[in-house]
Amino acid sequence: MSPASPSASGRSAPLHVLGALALELRGDATVDRAALPRQDAGALAEKIARDLAGFAADSAGLDLITVGAHYDPVELLRPGWPLHRELDQLAANAPRERHAETPAGRVIAFGAHDAQLPGALTPSPDYAGGPLRLVPFLLGGDAATVARVGDLLESNLLENGMAGADTALAAQAAFGLQVEHARYLTVHDLAAMMAMQYEHAGLGALWPLLETALLQPEGEEWLDAPPEPLVHYSEGEARIALFSPAAWHARYAPEAPCNTEECRQTLNRRYQHFEARLRQISAVLGAHAVPVTFVHCDGPAEREAL
């Protein structure tokens, strides 16, 4: 599932609006719970549904599907939107009782039973502890309504999407955390925020490749900007070039040969930094669930090898 899929005419028809309640946490405050029981998850979901209707009234006629759990941004920003897809698949088995005279959509909230969330909804402990935690949701129903609501939320949430004060307090009490700000984002808003964060963290050169993996998973993108590693995203995976010291020297340091110990030590430090950067980029791609393959590229045709 993705926010849109190609129609027979070649245009993209929205399937769902994908988003999240974003909880910006205060400092180093502890987090008591990663998941809520069903009753608490349902109570929070009702507040989310009400807030969203304030931004786009027609959202009240759509199904809201969410989970009483919070996640790191990398757990949402993955090719194919697997967390939102899991919510959609689990909701497919939910009762569909709806009366013709009541156009309101359903509110479906998954919670923990015996401390266990259904399906693949359990947040990863590997990414716990970050300052931004996300409660994912999706809106689905009539295609025309989804399109209208999606357009409104895409244009409004990033600038004006603050959650209701009682929603923020409810999330704070239910999860046992300290909320500095609570706001709503679409997945595209979240991607834009992450792009800025990666830029500030010195990873801006990698973002176009990640963005392609997220928004056009069947597309192609290169990271080919020395001194950065050489990376090719294609056919759903990222192929990262591995260079021997000699091959690295030929590509990244083709200046005059070093004849002093100081020069050789400088080159060695640069090569070690390059290897550390390889590991960092591989870890970031892995966190976003982009498959990584390392390819030895010791010849002059590095791009062809990838």
Q: What are 145-198's pLDDT values in tens digits? A: 999 999 999 999 999 999 999 999 999 999 999 999 999 999 999 999 999 999
d(CA 152, CA 53): 11
Phi, psi values for residue 295, rounded to 5° = -125, 125
DSSP secondary structure string, 91-111?
HTTS-----TT--PPPEEEE-
d(CA 210, CA 278): 15
pTM of the predicted structure, to 2 decimals = 0.89
Task: Give Cβ neighbours of residue 85 (< 8 Å, ≥ 6 apart).
Answer: 1
Q: pLDDT > 90: what percent of the chain?
A: 75
* Predicted local confidence at residue 232, as pLDDT: 97
Give the residue among 182, 199, 122, 186 at the shortest CA–CA distance from 150.
186
Q: Residue 95's pLDDT band (boundaries 50, 70, 90)?
A: low
Q: Which fold has domain 204-305?
A: Transcription Regulator spoIIAA (3.30.750)
DSSP secondary structure string, 231-248?
EEEETTEEEEEE--HHHH
Pairing of strands 292-296, 12-14: unpaired
| Extents of the domains making up the chain | 4-200, 204-305
d(CA 150, CA 152): 5
